[in-house]
């Protein structure tokens, strides 16, 4: 399988309007003297490690509503999540970057976070690194249960997004579906309709764990990008993580779940329903036009949809 790159259209920090750059520097406490654009991810804006005149370092992410209004909303969501989570991160020394401040100027939103001295996991996945990530997710599940901040339940947050099979079934089996999916579309839609009941829980979930949202340091596994935080059963993060792992050279679903205590304890019926909902999301979204500023996201979703449909064929 050809794996599409996870990449938005990056904007250099120096290309950001001067008023926005000045506001970012005020949060940093010193003028920016160097900014290194970072690869990976889907944000159609700035993602840069910046060094300041006083020797401090920060990670700056910024986006304009003129490029993608949804990305601006997502950044504001992450700002709110990290602001609420700040005392929990400090009290428990959690491997989550702290938000040092934010900027909301004109059409731009920027977040200024700790610059984590780490790297993304290797691709294809190395067993040792994947084991470290699975262990870290187990640790976060313990530290974040019960959910320490007010967030929506996962079933509420993704109530509309996870209706892909039902939408496709109602549309009269559109073009673009493989023969197996066409034949089982009604069954998939029926199973998808049960996913919310199978994901009830009180763990604070990330729900967007992927290699590009993980940084490996000497001692820690740091999980970044928290705009989609919600509350549910701990195994959900592992299932949502699994397709990207397999797509990037890692193990199959069962083997990945076996790496973590949370995964090993998950009920197979809950796993199947959640995987079905995720597969419907990826499949439906991959058939839609690309959103503004995100030219590669549909191919990335299509690749994960292919993985989830293969697993569903085995499970069903």
Tens of pLDDT along 156-173? 999 999 999 999 999 876
Same-domain status, 72 and 168: no
Same-domain status, 160 and 106: no
Tens of pLDDT along 190-237? 999 999 999 999 999 999 999 999 999 988 999 999 999 999 999 999
Tens of pLDDT along 175-184? 789 999 999 9
* pLDDT > 90? residue 91: yes
Structural domains of the chain, count: 2
Percent of the chain at pLDDT exceeding 70:
95
Same-domain status, 102 and 235: no
CATH number at residue 98: 3.30.200.20
Structural domain includes residue 24: yes
* pLDDT > 90? residue 292: no
Same-domain status, 144 and 93: no
Q: What is the pTM of this model?
A: 0.92
CATH number at residue 235: 3.90.1200.10
Same-domain status, 97 and 146: no
| CB of 16 closer than 8 Å to CB of 106 | no
247-276 per-residue burial string, b: 16 or more CB within 10 A, e: under 16? bbebbebeebbebbebbeebeeebbbbbbb
Structural domain includes residue 247: yes
Residue ranges making up the domain that contains 154 = 127-315
* pLDDT > 80? residue 293: no
Same-domain status, 167 and 310: yes
Tens of pLDDT along 39-70? 766 677 999 999 999 999 999 999 999 988 99
Same-domain status, 188 and 311: yes
Same-domain status, 109 and 139: no
* pLDDT > 60? residue 123: yes
Same-domain status, 182 and 249: yes
């Amino acid at each position: 399988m050809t794996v599409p790159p996870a990449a938005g259209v990056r904007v250099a920090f120096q290309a950001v309007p001067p008023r926005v750059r000045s506001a970012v520097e005020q949060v940093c406490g010193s003028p920016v003297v160097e900014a290194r654009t970072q690869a990976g991810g889907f944000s159609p804006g700035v993602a840069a490690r910046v060094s300041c005149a006083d020797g401090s370092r920060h990670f700056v992410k910024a986006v304009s509503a003129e490029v993608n209004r949804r990305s601006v909303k997502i950044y504001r969501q992450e700002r709110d999540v990290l602001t609420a989570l700040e005392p929990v991160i400090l009290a428990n020394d959690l491997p989550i970057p702290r938000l040092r401040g934010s900027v909301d100027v004109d059409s731009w939103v920027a977040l200024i976070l700790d610059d984590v001295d780490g790297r993304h996991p290797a691709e294809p996945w190395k067993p040792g690194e994947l084991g470290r990530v699975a262990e870290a997710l187990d640790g976060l599940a313990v530290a974040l249960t019960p959910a320490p901040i007010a967030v929506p339940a996962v079933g509420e947050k993704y109530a509309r997004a996870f209706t892909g099979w039902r939408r496709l079934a109602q549309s009269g089996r559109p073009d673009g579906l493989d023969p197996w999916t066409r034949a089982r579309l009604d069954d998939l839609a029926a199973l998808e309709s049960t996913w919310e009941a199978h994901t009830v829980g009180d763990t604070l979930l990330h729900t967007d764990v992927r290699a590009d949202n993980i940084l490996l340091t000497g001692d820690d596994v740091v999980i970044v990008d928290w705009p989609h935080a919600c509350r549910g059963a701990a195994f959900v993060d592992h299932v949502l993580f699994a397709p990207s792992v397999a797509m990037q050279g890692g193990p199959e679903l069962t083997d990945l779940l076996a790496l973590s205590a949370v995964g090993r304890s998950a009920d197979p019926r809950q796993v199947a329903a959640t995987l079905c909902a995720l597969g419907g999301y990826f499949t439906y979204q991959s058939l839609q036009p690309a959103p503004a500023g995100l030219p590669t996201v549909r191919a990335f979703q299509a690749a994960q949809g292919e993985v989830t449909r293969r697993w569903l064929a085995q499970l069903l």
